[in-house]
A and B are shown apart, each in its own frame.
Chain A
């Protein structure tokens, strides 16, 4: 099971964090800090895996963003890389060639996307099409609501 996923920039700024195992905030911060510095210190030619405490860390860099996942000992590292890649593909499709700024300004969308892909640390939907469909449907629902609310505010309905 995936324990957590972190997205951070080359400058070490956290862009997204998802914890599938509950920790107190202090612990989360400590883990994040440690991992970011360890990973940023690694040379580009190194393998994407490292052992960290009793977890395995799988990370990959896409442009200026590092995607970093912590998995348990028996988990498959390559599969985790695929999950990361799948997530990046989804973001790319949704935002249209995604960049760091997209994730900064629409961080909630990035979370929603991740929630469709993974639930409780396990892959939930492997079909890209289905994920995007669900996200689109929810966006639509939201838009309808906003229009409705706006109209109600103005007093039209």
Chain B
């Protein structure tokens, strides 16, 4: 594929997203992704398939909860022991025994955050393994090669990630490099008909940089875009403005994946701002550990149909959380994922049935007691797309 696509070729680029409904007030959309392992309704929350052994759930449980796309870990699987082994196991789908869709990241983010001895150069992300001292280079080409071997349905470009709290020339450097790495990923991608390569919009919290990145990356012929570099330590006020800027400049007929955003309120607001896909890794801290739940014999959510709520009370989970049995965390993961999936389903239904703004008002009322008690940033963000609360 050409490194930089000309405008005319954009017309023939594959469209994996079909829009089913659009909110007449906000930028919310309901759609359907057509992926190699089946259709996926959007907006969609994508759980992480293996959230490390402490909080993990099985693929069977994910399937039972209605999940049709989840995230696979490129870093853990693709780098050690390597793509050859995964290919022998019939790709990541075979290795995980997951019949539906998979989205893999480039491996870059985890490498930088997990490995202290990493270094970013124009070539890629290089690091020295703390175990055997071996030097490895994760280049855009290598990342795509690994993801090709994994066989995931959506693959992510390798991007130069900087924390949103970083300021100065480094942010611009990372943004420009990400564009160059996108081109290298597109060139290296061997299976464009089987795997969908997404670009990742960077630019930190600088509106100009982000706008430049948007302008450049949307010239490239990719099936979808991710909005990256957010959900770090930035303020919510800056966060929503960058999301809104991004969605205003991204093509309507391609999916928008907001990386690392998964908490309920954030999800609803960002759907209103025009995002379609979300992911999140949940931390282990939980309110259930508090004393007030010790004798609370109700389920976490009486309307939830997940196995945790069907069988267990808050009191039991409270007891288990105070023990050294990790089963408690698995119970909570199952419920949290069930909740997120159910929320997305409800959001989508409200968009299709043309009552999304009312849904948002009801939701904020339930979350905060009254829609007017909703956090300021969320109120502003919703107002910017025509939804007023209270």
Whether both chains belong to one complex is answered with: no
